Structure 1
Amino acid sequence: MLLEQINQPNDLKKCSVEELAQLSGEIRQFLIEKLSVTGGHLAPNLGVVELTVILHYLFDSPKDKIIFDVGHQAYVHKILTGRREQFDTLRKYKGLCGFVKRSESEHDVWEAGHSSTSLSAAMGMATARDLKGEDNRVIAVIGDGALTGGMAFEALNHIGHEKKNLIVVLNDNEMSIAPNVGAMHHYLGKIRSDKTYKRAKEELESFLKKIPAIGGALAKTAERLKDSLKYLVVSGVLFEELGFTYLGPVDGHDLESLQDTFKQASQVNGPVLVHVLTTKGKGYSPAEADSHKWHGITPYKIESGQVVKAVGNPMYTEVFSEAIIELAEQDSRIVAVTPAMPSGSGLLKFAARFPDRMIDVGIAEQHAATMCAAIAIEGLKPIYAVYSTFMQRAYDQIVHDICRQDANVIFAIDRAGFVGADGETHQGVYDISFMRHIPNMVMMMPKDENELRHMLKTAVDYNDGPIAVRYPRVNGVGVAYDPVMTPIPIGEWEVVRDGESFAIAAIGPMVQVALEAAEQLKREGLNVRVINARFIKPLDGAMLQQLAKDRLDLIVMEESAQMGGLGSAILEYYAEHDIYDMRVKLMGIPDYFVEHGSVKEQRQEVGLTVEHVMAEIKKMKPRIRTRAK
């Protein structure tokens, strides 16, 4: 196999174009086989095989900087840069990361798990190159979905203004995770389909070349004529107006066309945009037929494309999906908004049932947040369904537009806590720390799927400002649902197990961990009170006061950043109320980025397990109980 001879990008340069075609086929087969076992982002990588091969064939990585937007489209890049033998460990604990990672390889020059950052990074690297007097190339690969992100437009504007030498590769497969939406998508569609402009431009250029000498006014006239032709046939010509030389569209699976186009791009002085048309899922019929489903996939059977699913209780996302449909049947004010995550956020069924009340804004978290504020101010009930890690991108809008205006926006924060194989760029562990300190915000997290339903009802009925419900990327615990969703009193915690030796205040999945630890400790003569601290803000002051009166040492468990989390809030409460004799132990996620692996392995690493909480309680000697009068 040719693939076995490719261990570094320089090995590609010995190949003919015919051999590169053979290599591309072998890479596709390699990905299909490996990911059938590990799972991962299959469809995006099948679509960029030839593109990645040509980039490494023509350019000199790592001297030349190849920057991948998002990073989940970089499996081919990893294969070509010496990591083929590690693919059995893909997305596993201490194994190969599913995204570009600088500590893995010198060829990984930029890390990204969130979209729309590559162009700003390219501008930064091109600026640094020029300041240092170097001559390397900078190439940014961005998808048409990521191009809807506002940050990408900011970078395009700046790059076009500064006229830096760099290449932007627009990987246009008409998809991000979900089908793309918006004006940019339709604009690119017009370019894709317009053969008249390309043919007319070629004919005009051919005619001009036949004129022996074109200079002065005639040259300017010719340029104006070509510009007029652009506007006549393709309205906008956005990229050239922004200062880029536009090349394309080019077939992203035609190696010779790609080679010719990138050679041409390398000769241009100033920024170039190469528009490459690719097919997401290319070469594997199930992925081509449904690239949405196969964007990120669990293990599957190669022959049939049947996904291997673990049998278990419904995921919290599924519970959310069913509950908001039920609530929307009763309340016509409910509108669902998502930034390009209708499937991942559980909104496809809602969209089918209420197409007019479902809004997918594309990869535009900031826009979604501000739009939700305006929808709420006009008297409706927007539910902003978003992953915790992506909501970070809208922090200013949450502060300035939602909380400051006290808008009745409901945040449905999915993937709150550890996310397993997606790793450090996707961990949903920071939203408590960056949201609970904002005035007017209410935050809650359920201990089980039944409580999630009641919290969603609580959020819909709440009319005093923004309210957030956060829930994890795990299966529910398997409890029965109450027949009717009923609101929970704001700020009221719940004692789920009584005890007089110690107390554990926990949120989300940590409640079950605390209950299991308490059950085991009971056999050792310790009766532990377990509290479902379901409201992160506001806190249950009455219960915190009671713990102090009962002189119960308290352990706080949360699958979120310890700094600024629930435990910090409890310590702040005791300090504010001059309660100084409480012993409080915080158990959360330490001050570092936790890498990919299973959720179980991630919890073990940071000490959020039954064994760890039992060990902490055994370290703390119970105090003599003198009940306050």
Structure 2
Amino acid sequence: MRFSVALFLLLTFSLIFIFINLHCKSTKCEESNNNMFVKKMKNFTKKKQRLCSNFRKTVPSLFNISICRTKNVDCKGKEIETYYPLGNCKEDTKLLYVNNYFHLKHFRKFTFTKFYRGNIFKRENNVISQNSHKNDKKIDILNQRKKKLHTFQQDNKNTFVNISKELQDEENLNEKKKKNIYMDSIFDDINKYINIEMYNSIYGNDIYNEMINLYVKRIIPKDYEQKYFLQPIDKSIIYQIDKYEDNIFEKLLKLEFKNNGILINNINKKYFEKKNIYRMIKILHYFPLLKIINNPTDLKKIKKKYLPLLSYELKMFLFFIINITGGHFSANLSLLDIEMVLLYIFNQPKDIVIYDIGHQSYVHKILTGRKLLFLSLRQNKGICGFLNIFESIYDKFGAGHSSTSLSAIQGMYEADWQVCRKSKNDFTTLRRNYYRYFIGQNDKSIMEEEPCNDLDKFHIAIIGDGGLTGGMALEALNYISFLNSKVLIIYNDNGQVSLPTNAFSISGNRPIGSISDHLHNFVIHNSSKGDINSSFNKKEPNIFENLNYDYVGVIDGNNTNDVINALMDIKNNKLKRATILHISTRKTSDYIMRKSPINIMHSIKKNEIFPFDLTSLDNKEVTTHEGELENIHFSDPSQNINVNIFSEETFTDVYTREMLKHLEIDRGSTVFVSPAMLGGSGLLKISEKYPNNVYDVGIAEQHAVTFSAAMATNKKVKVHLCIYSTFMQRAYDQIIHDLNLQKIPLTVIIGRSGLIGEDGATHQGIYDLTYLGVLNNASIISPSNSVDLKKALAFCQLEREEGAVFIRLPRINSLSSDYMKNHLNIDIEREEAQMVDIHHLRTSFWGHARVIQMSTSGVIGSGGSSGSGSGGRKRGAIFNMGSMLFNVVNAVREMEKDLQFSDHFSFSVIDMIFLNPMDEGMIDYVVGQNKHDYLVTYEDNTIGGFSTHFNNYLIEKNYIAAHNLQIHNIYLPNRPIEHATYQEQQQDAQVDQVSLVRRIKKFLMGSFT
């Protein structure tokens, strides 16, 4: 039966291709062999859309077809072509453009080869795709390179006349030189993501041909610096790297970094030692313009017409580097041209530029002297993934959370205005707006009399990507207008919700809220009238003009020339009042296309797109013989933790799965609210299946809390507010006033509590126990494992009078079943069965700690007493709060292996779970009845958290003096914990397993007499 089906499909496809071949020949028009046009498709079937769909989904997958084009062909006239990805195949498509050369002979060869291999309909994966390196396939790099060059040759025989010779030469290369082929192959694949044809239609043949020569053929003119730049560039010291000894070179390079405005003392010198600089030199070989641009001064020397080439290089550089380091990718495509042109036109850092969302500023960092350090992006003591005032003088204001830029830029403008007044000794002239507001005058002479009307610098803020959904931004927008602070606000309208959500807005592919709707519709309306690329056309009033702003737009923010023209005009004419430049951009740009969905490419994990080992850039040999890559190790420091401890599910995954179970039982039982964090909060799958149960309120944390609290007053609805720990800080007044004081039974799921990893200091979730612990009508739960998380969620579905419940979810994976059974002594099946028992949840779970192990014997051999004393072991109890319980358990196991140490001490381990209500009965038992001598607290929070509540209880009960207790509190340090891997941050804070053993031993031995 299976063979018959395969045979039928084979015959069907054969007939299709015979038809195609017969209808692709023309006696009137000369057509190149590499193009195939499917004509008169409606003769095939009356259902054109169905044919388009079938052809798109089936036939192209066999031959790696990636592009369609509509084409009006006139042998005697002109051709008008429109290119687009196959995923957007239109209903009225009459002609199909296939960018892979094939005919019946190729088809026959392909068919029989694949048939005998048993995978006739399986697509050959020879392009970069998400997680492609995870497949157990051998990749022949040299053959891939040959196939790609062959494809280029077929596409343009006149351009690639020497390809055959190049292929023959490559076959004769030794293994050392094949490393270059390996790199060439990677950049060939990266090029596949870019529709170079688009550059031809936008920037013309000259730029298009330059791109073909520089980035496809990789032919760099000998005099290319003179060709592309107005003036000679002062070369970096790295191009004399072999001239100096290591220590001398590092000193000279450090001086170069300082001259470029980098606060290099805050960067670990390992990132700019020779080994890493050699690696970066090899990478920059593929970027002829970028490699000699070291700072904005160099950038300003490039000829304006060639800025699109630099834009192209920046895209490739971002793709390659971010895949290695991890970080935000598509978020940076949206503002790439804006960031480049702002540095090209304005005089930064004198002119102040502030970005609202710091992870969109990678291009800004690259072009302000940090290019050579980009392999340290988001690495421990490397460059930050966000703007950081301690990293560069070009980073004027730190940006981690959204919607802050407008307040910041106005503050800086007003400070400069005050300094100007002071320098001119003028303290009498009132601002124009004050006259108009208080006196009712509107005389232009007032403005002319103002001594500091024109400051000698520009103040620019870039906001968008959902940033204007934040109330703080709207407050600043209002006050900037009122004071007429002459700042330039660039509004980036890219039709996406703001921060890294890994999801579209629940209401569609655009920001949430009526203001965003208004601006989005405004762009669509003007775009339909053909005004999208017209910088200064007079348009109908919009919200900005109604607020008394000068308005410029809408500009295509991904068109380098349009951006240059708009910003040059603003600079030359200066600002008369607060001004909005409205740009329309695309996160996907022309770059991601159909192979990499935006919800995946927003943030890339290390080696997620293609595998790459940095050691392949070193001078040693790279194993690529026989086309095999499996012997290369792709390391990830974040995975150094013992993999047997953790499951494949994160705590957020467990939350999502449990909520879907509840909704399957009762569809209307629970609703969910998120301030622009659907993906990271685990609500994406829920919103897809139950869209009416999910509210995405945008970047509006204050509104989210009060909105959710008000919904929860209706006890027929269970409301879950899903919010990151770091963003919950922004709504603290609402938490106290609107939620806690009214004892409203809202469930708050706190995502990313504890240490956060590479996002660093601005996103750490290490303060929530401190600021939530003071709430008297709230319960705070920190489950260390999935079983206790499930119990907490089951409890929250019950009717309750306890007020709000806050459940902390760390970013890490949950503990594995084996680890819970063997090390935490959890009977998973029995405890999960008890979750349906309401009485059990109320009496045995709520407010109770979990005993991992309890020391009940203080005896050595048979001669000791039943308690501590002569000949007996001292008892120590470790009270855990939060996600790092595994460190405590592993540390105790390690100490118990030290026989000399364990002869003197025995240990109890208690997972407290609840900060409020804290299990005071467990503390009473450990101290009063089981007579422990040493008490240690351990938590994933900074000072003022669990340890403070624990110590206060001991003092209140007079336990310390009455029982001669020794107390040691271990918590995260009260300082910013910068970007690094999760494991590195634990080590830096000295709360990892090794540090825990050392600290506990030191405490016990120092107190032992």
Give TM-score, length-normalised by structure 1: 0.90
Match of 1:323 among 644, 650, 658: 658
Code of the aligned partner of 2:661: E
Structure 1: 5+ residue stretches without partners: 207-225, 232-236
* Equivalent residue runs for 1:17-36 within 5 Å: 17-36=304-323
Q: How far is 1:6 from its partner?
A: 1.3
1:338 partnered with 2:674: yes
Deviation readout 1:215-271 (Å, 9 max, x if unpaired): xxxxxxxxxxx8xx835xxxxx10111121111110012222112212333323111
Deviation readout 1:13-33 (Å, 9 max, x if unpaired): 112222211111111110011
Report if the CA contact (8 A) 2:323-2:610 is conserved.
no
RMSD of equivalent CA atoms = 2.6
Larger mean Cα displacement after TM superposition, 81-90 or 170-179: 170-179
Deviation readout 1:510-534 (Å, 9 max, x if unpaired): 2211111111222232321000010
Partner of 2:807: 469
Distance 1:199 1:172, change over 3 A: closer
Partner of 2:971: 588
Match of 2:592 among 253, 276, 285: 285
Partner of 1:116: 403
Match of 1:13 among 279, 300, 319: 300
3-state DSSP class of the match of 2:783? coil
Give the Cα separation in 2 of the matches to 1:91 and 1:620: 34
Give the Cα separation in 2 of the matches to 1:144 and 1:342: 15
Match of 1:189 among 499, 520, 523: 520
Partner of 2:706: 370
Give the Cα separation in 2 of the matches to 1:544 and 1:393: 34
Larger mean Cα displacement after TM superposition, 188-197 or 353-362: 188-197
Partner of 2:884: 510
* Equivalent residue runs for 1:356-395 within 5 Å: 356-379=692-715, 380-395=717-732
Q: How far is 1:184 from its partner?
A: 2.2
Structure 2: 5+ residue stretches without partners: 1-287, 421-454, 506-510, 613-633, 819-827, 857-874
Give the Cα separation in 2 of the matches to 1:142 and 1:515: 46
Partner of 1:568: 948
1:106 partnered with 2:390: no
Give the Cα separation in 2 of the matches to 1:285 and 1:491: 50
Q: How far is 1:303 from its partner?
A: 6.7
Partner of 2:168: none
Give the Cα separation in 2 of the matches to 1:292 and 1:622: 53
* Equivalent residue runs for 1:110-259 within 5 Å: 110-133=397-420, 134-175=455-496, 176=498, 177=500, 178-179=504-505, 180-195=511-526, 230=540, 237-259=542-564
Code of the aligned partner of 2:890: E
3-state DSSP class of the match of 1:104? coil
Report if the CA contact (8 A) 1:514-1:610 is conserved.
yes
Q: How far is 1:289 from its partner?
A: 5.3
Report if the CA contact (8 A) 2:487-2:575 is conserved.
no
Code of the aligned partner of 1:295: H
Code of the aligned partner of 2:687: A
Give the Cα separation in 1 of the matches to 2:973 and 2:635: 34
3-state DSSP class of the match of 2:723? strand
Partner of 2:568: 263
Deviation readout 1:120-142 (Å, 9 max, x if unpaired): 00110110111111521111011
Code of the aligned partner of 2:326: G
1:617 partnered with 2:1000: yes
Give TM-score, length-normalised by structure 2: 0.57
1:529 partnered with 2:908: yes
Code of the aligned partner of 2:650: M
Q: How far is 1:461 from its partner?
A: 2.0
Report if the CA contact (8 A) 1:417-1:428 is conserved.
yes
Distance 1:287 1:609, change over 3 A: farther
Distance 1:462 1:422, change over 3 A: farther
Report if the CA contact (8 A) 1:45-1:281 is conserved.
no
Give the Cα separation in 1 of the matches to 2:883 and 2:776: 27
Partner of 2:934: 553
Give the Cα separation in 2 of the matches to 1:293 and 1:144: 17
Partner of 2:66: none
Match of 2:847 among 487, 491, 496: 491
Give the Cα separation in 2 of the matches to 1:328 and 1:274: 45
Report if the CA contact (8 A) 1:280-1:287 is conserved.
no
Q: How far is 1:4 from its partner?
A: 1.3
Partner of 2:918: 539
Report if the CA contact (8 A) 2:847-2:918 is conserved.
yes
Q: How far is 1:287 from its partner?
A: 8.0
3-state DSSP class of the match of 1:293? helix
- How many aligned residue pairs are there? 596
Deviation readout 1:338-379 (Å, 9 max, x if unpaired): 111111111111112222111111111111100111111122
Report if the CA contact (8 A) 2:460-2:490 is conserved.
yes
Partner of 2:71: none
Give the Cα separation in 2 of the matches to 1:138 and 1:324: 47
Code of the aligned partner of 2:347: D
Report if the CA contact (8 A) 2:532-2:556 is conserved.
no
1:423 partnered with 2:757: no
3-state DSSP class of the match of 1:368? helix
Distance 1:301 1:448, change over 3 A: closer
Report if the CA contact (8 A) 1:498-1:528 is conserved.
yes
Give the Cα separation in 1 of the matches to 2:561 and 2:999: 64
Give the Cα separation in 2 of the matches to 1:516 and 1:503: 15
Give the Cα separation in 1 of the matches to 2:1006 and 2:927: 12
1:410 partnered with 2:724: no
1:478 partnered with 2:816: yes
Distance 1:47 1:300, change over 3 A: farther
3-state DSSP class of the match of 1:37? helix
Match of 2:691 among 336, 347, 355: 355
Q: How far is 1:200 from its partner?
A: 10
Report if the CA contact (8 A) 1:551-1:623 is conserved.
no
Q: How far is 1:308 from its partner?
A: 11
Instruction: Kindly indicate whether structure 1 or structure 2 has the higher relative contact order, using CA contacts under 8 Å at least 6 residues apart.
Output: 1
Match of 1:313 among 643, 648, 656: 648
Larger mean Cα displacement after TM superposition, 109-118 or 3-12: 3-12
Report if the CA contact (8 A) 1:171-1:277 is conserved.
yes
Give the Cα separation in 2 of the matches to 1:413 and 1:453: 15
3-state DSSP class of the match of 1:185? helix
Distance 1:101 1:287, change over 3 A: farther
Match of 2:382 among 91, 95, 104: 95
Give the Cα separation in 2 of the matches to 1:536 and 1:588: 14
Q: Percent identity between the aligned chains?
A: 34
3-state DSSP class of the match of 1:378? coil
Match of 1:294 among 592, 601, 604: 601
Q: How far is 1:313 from its partner?
A: 1.9
Report if the CA contact (8 A) 2:532-2:554 is conserved.
no
Partner of 1:234: none
Give the Cα separation in 2 of the matches to 1:9 and 1:142: 22
Code of the aligned partner of 1:599: Y
